[in-house]
């Protein structure tokens, strides 16, 4: 199985899903170049746009599971791509995490062992 080079892992170190994803990667022999704590190191608007482009849509990076999504009444609104980008830029909790970026520019948001394992093939 070839080693996977993860260029960046956008995460929260105290998020159980993020730590589970990290453990899965390391157990499989992946190397992680850079950890980016999205709370302490805000993701720039340009980075968000690039991640969304690589993933094939803003909706793939936007988290509807964030507590503020319901608290702010966003579930009752029709959000445009621009709205979602603005919310993710203003409030890190709207970014689905973890976000993994490989050296060859593949991007995954959230954690699924099955999806991660496909990166090793």
**Per-residue pLDDT tens digits for 93-106:** 999 999 999 999 99
How many percent of the chain have pLDDT more than 70? 98
Helix 45-55, helix 81-90: angle, nearest 10: 130
Residue 50 sits in which domain range? 5-119
pTM: 0.93
* pLDDT higher than 90, residue 120: no
Count of domains in the chain? 1
* pLDDT higher than 90, residue 85: yes
Q: How far apart are CA 33 and CA 67, in angstroms?
A: 30
DSSP label at residue 77: S
Please report how many Cα atoms fall inside a 13 Å half-sphere around the Cα of residue 27, on the Cβ side. Answer: 9
CA angle, corner 66, sides to 40 and 55, nearest 5? 80
- Between residues 26 and 120, the one the model is more confident about: 26
Q: What is the CATH number of the domain that holds 74?
A: 3.40.30.10
């Amino acid at each position: 199985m070839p080693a996977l080079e993860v260029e960046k892992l956008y995460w929260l170190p105290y998020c159980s899903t993020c730590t589970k994803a990290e453990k899965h990667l390391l157990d499989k022999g992946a190397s992680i170049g850079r950890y980016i704590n999205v709370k302490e190191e805000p993701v720039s608007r340009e980075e968000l746009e690039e991640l969304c482009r690589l993933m094939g849509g803003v909706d793939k990076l936007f988290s509807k599971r964030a507590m503020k999504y319901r608290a702010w009444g966003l579930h009752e609104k029709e959000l445009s791509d621009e709205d979602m980008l603005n919310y993710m830029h203003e409030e890190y909790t709207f970014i689905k995490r973890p976000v993994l970026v490989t050296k060859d520019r593949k991007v995954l948001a959230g954690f699924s062992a099955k999806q991660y394992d496909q990166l090793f093939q």
